[in-house]
Amino acid sequence: MDRLLVLARHGQSEWNLKNLFTGWKDPGLTELGIEEARNAGRRLKELGVQFDVAYTSALSRAQLTCKLILEEIGQPDLKTIADQALNERDYGDLSGLNKDDARTRWGEDQVHIWRRSYDVPPPGGESLKDTVARALPYYIREILPRVMRGERVLVAAHGNSLRALVMVLDGLTAETIPSLELATGIPLVYKLNADTTVASKEVLEG
């Protein structure tokens, strides 16, 4: 049994490029983002990876990333399940704002707390803790059982929703998870043991 789980953050979005808080807003991928997604697929193809099912969020940047990865590995028609449980963290009132402008308005320290604390949400939005509370039960209920049955699963989603999964997989804490950065378009390849712990992890950079 493979018990293979691949996590991939979407490629660069138009708002990543413009340094804007994105959250549940739905900008598309840049040309670089499209290429990052295709490169992720190529690296997985080089490993000989094939999937039994794919999961993604309700947002188009993750869905397109998933689609491009699957095209590159020759599985364009693979069953793909989209759910907003895997959406990016909702940045509330910050959504659509330039990060530098937000610092000018609320101050460097306050914006840093909103971005990097575990449990302090921005106005009208979600903390990382809130995102974990949304994404992790979905992972445990829907995704993990498939992996444990030996299915090979791709999850193409977002920096914060994927951090919720990595938090459990890598044994991170509320203190250490906020400092974790997931690069756009870089797949994380996990193989799990029979007790759901991580047997191996490979970061497909380059």
Catalytic (active-site) positions:
10, 88
Nearest CA to 157 out of 11, 18, 34 is that of: 11
Beta pairing, strands 53-56 & 80-82: parallel
H/E stretch holding 82 reads strand 80-82
Helix (H), strand (E), coil (C) string for 43-73: HHHHCCCCCCEEEECCCHHHHHHHHHHHHHC
User: Which value, in Å, is the radius of gyration of the alpha carbons in the chain?
Assistant: 16
Residue 5: strand pairing partners: 153, 190
Q: Report yes or no: 11 and 61 within 8 Å, Cβ to Cβ.
A: yes
Which SS3 state, helix, strand or coil, does residue 9 take?
Answer: strand
Nearest CA to 65 out of 186, 202, 206, 205 is that of: 186
